[in-house]
Structure 1
């Protein structure tokens, strides 16, 4: 049995939204993605393996929709998930098995902005010239934002939530434009979860910084 035959049931319509068929792939991506972001907001380690499963569903979905940069991005996300999984358990330094929430440094911002701008330009040109993408710039921009946000998530940088919020604000209309209505709705949910995650991580950072002050008092 070929891989295409194995994957075919996942690509079959499950129901329709606004006269557009919604496949098992999109439904499974919806569910696993929402749960994954919720777990990240709670700093739960299980977000990483669940996120890998979510990436696999989205590779199929985005490739079908002609969002090639987003499909390729999922492969990078899988590699970053492995890195993030390790970092969250080993990146806290000697005597610590957890990674604390921190702010993004000025040096990190410089690298992220530079890499994001160069990556967006290069990927836009590639998608425009080498694929049949109808939204090369927006596909490239969301790819760059998502990679920067995922790096911050792997390192537990508070500002990674702001990068995800910016990406989601583009993703929502982009997926609706591609008639991926359930995925567009998912990213609206992601936006809400990102705000929750920003609040939770900021609270964690504030509490951790306040402990030495209280102890000294």
Structure 2
């Protein structure tokens, strides 16, 4: 524990602020507060700079994407609901669909990782690219309310724990430990809702 506290003490103030805002985002999102989106945008903006400095270039690109999504999310929550009267329900996709996409994403990650590794000074280019590509994909699944998105996030976040710990972002690595737990809880809750909706849809 003392060693862990020593490592956290070495974390930069910027990283600690980003971690606190990331946690605030999750809590506020659960409470469906609009303030979750500014928290997400500021946290992602800080991480954009941190990861670029740490030569995790694909992670920087991902954080820029998160900033854009935060803006879209805020707009959607404020105005989007005024133009729609339908609620997107949780869906489940066949394992064959996931297998095909997983293979395609791995192939894309290898190509991008090779490019970064050969033509830039990117650090841990292949892992950096793999986690980024799959994070884009998992974010899309969240937006479409696909149940299995949580399973992707569990695997992605576990890899992130190792990546950020090795790179010295210890506070962020601990944040992703929390994310793994929350993803597991998210899968369990969404699965309950999905099964409940199936039961309601079946004729009595």
State the secondary structure of the residue aligned to 1:203.
helix
Alignment equivalent of 1:189, drawn from 166, 178, 183:
178
Query: Higher strand share goes to which structure?
Result: 1
State the secondary structure of the residue aligned to 2:11.
strand
Please list every run of 5 or more consecutive structure 2 residues that lacks an aligned counterpart in the other structure. Answer: none
State the aligned residue count. Answer: 197
Q: CA contact under 8 A between 1:37 and 1:194: conserved in structure 2?
A: no
Pair 1:134-2:116 in alignment: no
Tell me whether 19-28 or 168-177 shows the greater mean CA deviation.
19-28
Cα deviation, residue 143, structure 1: 0.6
Q: Which runs of 4+ in 1 moved over 6 A?
A: 86-89
Q: Which aligned pairs between 1:15-94 and structure 2 lie closer than 5 A?
A: 17-18=6-7, 21-38=10-27, 42=30, 44=32, 46=34, 47-83=36-72
Alignment equivalent of 1:116, drawn from 94, 105, 112:
105
What's the TM-score, normalizing by structure 2?
A: 0.80
State the secondary structure of the residue aligned to 1:104.
coil
Q: CA contact under 8 A between 2:37 and 2:70: conserved in structure 1?
A: yes
Alignment equivalent of 2:190, drawn from 193, 201, 205:
201
Cα deviation, residue 209, structure 1: 2.0
Which residue does the alignment assign to 2:158? 169
Which residue does the alignment assign to 1:6? none
CA RMSD of aligned residues (A): 3.0
Distance 1:78 1:18, change over 3 A: closer
Alignment equivalent of 1:95, drawn from 82, 85, 103:
85
Cα deviation, residue 147, structure 1: 0.9
Cα deviation, residue 64, structure 1: 1.9
Which residue does the alignment assign to 1:7? none
Cα deviation, residue 81, structure 1: 4.1
Please give the alpha-carbon distance, in whole angstroms, between the structure 2 residues aligned to 1:202 and 1:125: 37
Cα deviation, residue 114, structure 1: 5.0
Q: CA contact under 8 A between 1:120 and 1:141: conserved in structure 2?
A: yes
Distance 1:111 1:33, change over 3 A: farther
Q: CA contact under 8 A between 1:26 and 1:183: conserved in structure 2?
A: yes
Please list every run of 5 or more consecutive structure 1 residues that lacks an aligned counterpart in the other structure. Answer: 1-15
